Amino acid sequence: MSSYLSIPITAHLQMEITNLLNMEAYYLDNGKYKEWLDLLSDDLTYRMPLRETLEGVGANNVSKDASFFEETKKSLTTRVNRLYTKSAWVENPATRQRHFISNIMVESTKNPEEFKVRSYFLFKRSRGSTHDIEEMFGERNDIVRKESNQWKIASRTILPDQSVITTMNMSMFL
């Protein structure tokens, strides 16, 4: 077990971190991508490995070598800038999307400024006037950090629960 002195997760701390994740979802669901970028630390790692179907009880089914995202703040900034062009057709006309974030669990780390945060996501999307409702769900493992009195996401690993993605593309951030 850890030898460091763990910081108690108070209701106030839980609320601050919950607010961070809810604010993030609000920005993403309302096309405020530049505001979203401001919630990410400059040394961010943002990953989304594939899920694999493997035989065996308790097998680790998170892919070690294949991903959907392996991003830095710089590469995410390029992706975001593209969404502000006139010809990123996947979001022009814009899709309507919601991130439902739940099951938020906060744990302390060795660094008193950083916390491990696990959350579940359910993402839903509607596009044009089609009747299809697209969805994706899974878990996120984050490190959040307080920088100059502002909460930032310093690291995120997104684990989708599907091995075959059923949204027609992945233009969304999760």
Partner 1 sequence: MIKKTLDEKAFQLLKEKMEQGLFPQWVLTDPDIYELEIDKIFGHTWQFLAHETELKDSGSYVTRWMVNDPVLLVKNRKGEIKGYLNSCTHRGTQLCTADHGNKKNFTCPYHGWSYNLDGELIGIVAGNKVYGEEMDKSEWGLREIPQVASYQGMIFGCLDPVAMPLEEYLGDMKWYFDILLGRSDGGMEVRGLPQRWVAKANWKATAENFAADPYHVQTTHRSTVELGISPEDPLYAGYGHQIVTENGHGINVITSKTGKARVPYQGTPESMWPMFKKNLTPEQDEILSGVTVFVGGVYPNLSFVSPIHGTEGHLHNYLNFRMWRPIGPEKVEVWCWFLIDKAAPEEYKEAAYRGYLGSFGPTGTLEQDDTETWARIVEVSKGLMMRDKELNYNNVSNYLMGFDRVEPDESFPGPGIAYPTTYLDAISRSMHENWFKLISKDLFVKEAVK
Burial 65-87 (b: 16+ CB within 10 A, else e): eeeebebeeeebeeeeeebeeee
Peptide bond into 49 cis (omega under 30): no
Q: Does 171 bind partner 1 (CB under 8 A)?
A: yes
Lay out the site mask for partner 1 across 150-169 (x = CB under 8 A, - = otherwise): -------------xxxxxxx
Of 81 and 102, which has the nearer Cβ to partner 1?
A: 81
Quote the distance between the C-alpha of residue 46 and its chain's center. 8
Q: Does 97 bind partner 1 (CB under 8 A)?
A: no
Lay out the site mask for partner 1 across 62-81 (x = CB under 8 A, - = otherwise): -xxxxxxxxx---x--xx-x
Q: Does 89 bind partner 1 (CB under 8 A)?
A: yes
Rounded distance between C-alpha atoms, residue 136 and residue 165, angstroms? 8
Q: What is the nearest approach in angstroms of partner 1 to the Cβ of residue 15? A: 32
